[in-house]
C-alpha cells in the first residue's frame, strides 16, 4: 500500500510520543551512535511508513537516530541478506515480515536461512487483510461464498499481487481449508480495476487502503483474515468464524544479525514493547491497519518458526513458484 505525500507528512509531524528520555546510565551503553533499520520495500509503502514511525519513536526513547534504509528487491530477500551480512552489534536491524516466513520455502536457493541467521528482537503487530469480493458476486457472507464456489468449481477468479505474495498464500490457505476450487490470477500491476468490474471475483487485500473502497461500494468485504475480529472493523466477522482455525496476517517485527549481544536485544525489545503498549502509538498504528502486540524475543522467535512451518506447507501443497 502506498500513502500520499500529505499522509506521510502528517504522520511524520504527528508521531512524537510521550516517552521517557534515557537515563544517564543508559546513555553510556547501547546505542551510542545511529542505528539503521533496513526495509525491504520502497519509500512510501506501508512497511516503510511503519518503519519510519518506529525509527522516530525509538530515537526519542533511546536517544540516538534510527535511520531507515530501503533495500527493495526479491520479495524482501535483498534487505534480509543485507542484515544477515552486517556486524552483529545492534547497529543494523531488519524490519522482518511474513515475507521472510514465506520466502524460506518459496525461494529454494537463498544465500541465508532466515530462522538461523536473524535474531528475533520484537514483534510489531498483525497487519489484517480482508476477504473481499466484487459487488456483482451474489454472496454476502463467507458461508454463502463457500456454497457458491462449491456450486461453481473453477469459475471464480482470485486476484493477487503475484505468486507467493500475501494475497496469494492467504487465498491458497482459504482454498485448502474451505475445500473450494478458485483460479489464481497473478497481477504485476493493480488488480483493483478488474475486481471492481467483476473480471476477477475475489481477493485478499490489506485493511489499510481498502476501507474507502468498501464504503464506496466498489468492493464487498466478507471477513477479516486475522484469528479474531479487527478493532478497526469490529462488526465484520473473522474467517475463522466460518472456517475454523483459519488465520493469516501480514505481520511485522524487528530482527538483528545472528549473535547480536543479548543485552542489546533486551534494550531494543523493551523499547519496542513500550511503544506498542502506548495508547497513542496504538491509535496511529491502527490507522495503518496494524494491531500491535508485545512479545519477548523467545516468543517472537517461536512465532517466526511456526509461521515459517505453516506457510511452507501452503507453498508446497499449492505448488507455488516464485515469479
Q: Give the residue among 120, 57, 54, 42 at the shortest CA–CA distance from 303.
A: 120
Please give the distance of CA 58 from its chain centroid, rounded to a whole number.
20
- Cα 299 from Cα 123, distance rounded (Å): 9
Q: Is the pLDDT of residue 306 over 70?
A: yes
pLDDT digits 0-9 by tens, 7-53? 443 444 444 454 444 433 343 489 999 999 999 999 999 899 999 99
pLDDT band at 287 (very low <50, low <70, confident <90, very high): confident
Task: Identify the pLDDT of residue 105.
Answer: 97
Spatial contact of 254 and 268, defined as CB atoms under 8 Å apart? yes
Spatial contact of 140 and 242, defined as CB atoms under 8 Å apart? no
Task: Identify the pLDDT of residue 125.
Answer: 95
- Cα 198 from Cα 36, distance rounded (Å): 44
Q: Give the residue among 96, 101, 120 at the shortest CA–CA distance from 297.
A: 120
pLDDT band at 317 (very low <50, low <70, confident <90, very high): very high
- Cα 12 from Cα 7, distance rounded (Å): 9
Q: What is the mean pLDDT of residues 240-268?
A: 97
Residue 4 cell numbers, joined: 500520499
pLDDT band at 310 (very low <50, low <70, confident <90, very high): very high
Q: Can you name the residues that pair with 203 across neighbouring β-strands?
A: 132, 159
Spatial contact of 141 and 111, defined as CB atoms under 8 Å apart? no
- Cα 62 from Cα 254, distance rounded (Å): 16
Q: Give the residue among 278, 15, 252 at the shortest CA–CA distance from 124.
A: 252
Three-class SS state of 126: strand
**Burial group, residue 48, by CB count within 10 angstroms (0-12, 13-18, 19+):** buried
- Domain layout of the chain by residue ranges: 5-127+249-318, 129-241
Q: Give the residue among 207, 224, 225 at the shortest CA–CA distance from 215.
A: 207
- Cα 258 from Cα 255, distance rounded (Å): 9
Identical topology for domains 5-127+249-318 and 129-241 = yes
Q: What is the CA radius of gyration of the chain?
A: 20
pLDDT digits 0-9 by tens, 140-185? 999 999 999 999 999 999 999 999 999 999 999 999 999 999 999 9
- Cα 153 from Cα 124, distance rounded (Å): 39
CATH among 1.20.1260.10, 3.40.190.10, 1.10.10.10, 3.30.70.3000 for 129-241: 3.40.190.10
Q: Provide the percentage of residues in the chain whose pLDDT is more than 90.
A: 83
- Cα 214 from Cα 206, distance rounded (Å): 12
Task: Identify the pLDDT of residue 2.
Answer: 44
pLDDT digits 0-9 by tens, 65-94? 999 999 999 989 999 999 999 999 999 999
Spatial contact of 201 and 133, defined as CB atoms under 8 Å apart? yes
Report the side by side order of strands in the sheet with 156-160: 182-186, 156-160, 202-206, 129-133, 220-224
Q: Can you name the residues that pair with 223 across neighbouring β-strands?
A: 131
Q: Give the residue among 294, 314, 312, 70 at the shortest CA–CA distance from 204.
A: 314
Q: Is the pLDDT of residue 220 over 90?
A: yes
106: how many CB neighbours lie within 10 A of its CB?
24
Which residues make Cβ contacts (< 8 Å) with residue 74, sequence separation at least 6? 107
User: Does domain 5-127+249-318 correspond to CATH entry 3.40.47.10?
Assistant: no
Amino acid at each position: 500500500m502506498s500513502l500520499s505525500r500529505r499522509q506521510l507528512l502528517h504522520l511524520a509531524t504527528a508521531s512524537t510520543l510521550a516517552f521517557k528520555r534515557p537515563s544517564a546510565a543508559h546513555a553510556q551503553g547501547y546505542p551510542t551512535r545511529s542505528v539503521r533499520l533496513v526495509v525491504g520495500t520502497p519509500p512510501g509503502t506501508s512497511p516503510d511508513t511503519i518503519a519510519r514511525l518506529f525509527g522516530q519513536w525509538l530515537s526519542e526513547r533511546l536517544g540516538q537516530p534510527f535511520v531507515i534504509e530501503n533495500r527493495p528487491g526479491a520479495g524482501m530477500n535483498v534487505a534480509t541478506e543485507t542484515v544477515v551480512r552486517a556486524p552483529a552489534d545492534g547497529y543494523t536491524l531488519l524490519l522482518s515480515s511474513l515475507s521472510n516466513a514465506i520466502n524460506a520455502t518459496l525461494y529454494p536457493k537463498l544465500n541465508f536461512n532466515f530462522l538461523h541467521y536473524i535474531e528475533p528482537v520484537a514483534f510489531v503487530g498483525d497487519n489484517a487483510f480482508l476477504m473481499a469480493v466484487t459487488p456483482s458476486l451474489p454472496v454476502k457472507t463467507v458461508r454463502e461464498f463457500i456454497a457458491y464456489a462449491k456450486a461453481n468449481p473453477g469459475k471464480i477468479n482470485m486476484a493477487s499481487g503475484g505468486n507467493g505474495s500475501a494475497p496469494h498464500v492467504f487465498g491458497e490457505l482459504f482454498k485448502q481449508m474451505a475445500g473450494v476450487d478458485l483460479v489464481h490470477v497473478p497481477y504485476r500491476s493493480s488488480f483493483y480495476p478488474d475486481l471492481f468490474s467483476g473480471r476477477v471475483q475475489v481477493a485478499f487485500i490489506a485493511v489499510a487502503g481498502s476501507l474507502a473502497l468498501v464504503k464506496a461500494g466498489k468492493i464487498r468485504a466478507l471477513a477479516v483474515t486475522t484469528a479474531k475480529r479487527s478493532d478497526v472493523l469490529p462488526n465484520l466477522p473473522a474467517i475463522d468464524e466460518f472456517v475454523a482455525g483459519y488465520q493469516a496476517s501480514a505481520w511485522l517485527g524487528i530482527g538483528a544479525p545472528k549473535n547480536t549481544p543479548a543485552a542489546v536485544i533486551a534494550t531494543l525489545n523493551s523499547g519496542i514493547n513500550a511503544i506498542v503498549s502506548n495508547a497513542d502509538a496504538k491509535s496511529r498504528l491502527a490507522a495503518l491497519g496494524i494491531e500491535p502486540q508485545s512479545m519477548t524475543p523467545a516468543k517472537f522467535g517461536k512465532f517466526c518458526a511456526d509461521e515459517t512451518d505453516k506457510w511452507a506447507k501452503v507453498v508446497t501443497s499449492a505448488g507455488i513458484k516464485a515469479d
